[in-house]
Amino acid sequence: MLRKLLNRLFGPFSSGGVIPLGEFLILLQKSYAYLRKHRYRVLSTELPDDLLKKWLMPMPGEKQAEEYKRSFARQNDTLSQTQLPVFVFDHVLQKRFNRDISTFDAAEMEIAGRDLRVYILLLNYIFGMREAGRSLIEFDIFDVENYDAIIERIEAQETEPE
């Protein structure tokens, strides 16, 4: 199902080789523990840098997105760190919103793909603002029901003079 969601975002994947999953499982458990501790609500201003960097994905359409897609595809049905952001996103959808992508029809999968795209955008916004030493807007990175309002706030911030 995660492959189907990523297909919505990046396009079709080819098959490929196998990559070990030990590190992935450790990172996944660390991420899930953090999410549980924060009740699946993570503020942009409080997300630790180490998790932010592990949850980052390239934006669809960027050159790095193609490499991400190839890396993901090479894994066939194994798990690795490159899949961590999608597992984290899916986990929050299940635990916080009772949205199980394995039961989604095409329309629901389209919505999940859009939400994943915004999630990626928000993580990249947080990373970029921190890297630039700029103040960022506080929001819950998993508040999918308010993603449109969050994007509007970010756009308004970008048009404000510094």
Separation of alpha carbons 119 and 42, rounded Å? 12
Per residue in 58-68, pLDDT (tens digit) is: 655 555 545 54
Range of the domain at 103: 2-159
- Count the domains in the chain: 1
Beta bridge partners of 140: 43
Per residue in 71-106, pLDDT (tens digit) is: 444 444 455 566 788 889 999 999 999 988 888 888
Query: What amino acid occupies position 14?
Result: S
Which of residues 113 and 20 earns the better pLDDT score? 113
Question: CB burial class (10 A; 0-12, 13-18, 19+) of residue 129?
Answer: middle
Separation of alpha carbons 160 and 162, rounded Å? 6
Q: Which residue has the tokens 């949850």?
A: 55
**If DSSP codes are grouped into helix, strand and coil, which group holds residue 43?**
strand
**If DSSP codes are grouped into helix, strand and coil, which group holds residue 135?**
coil
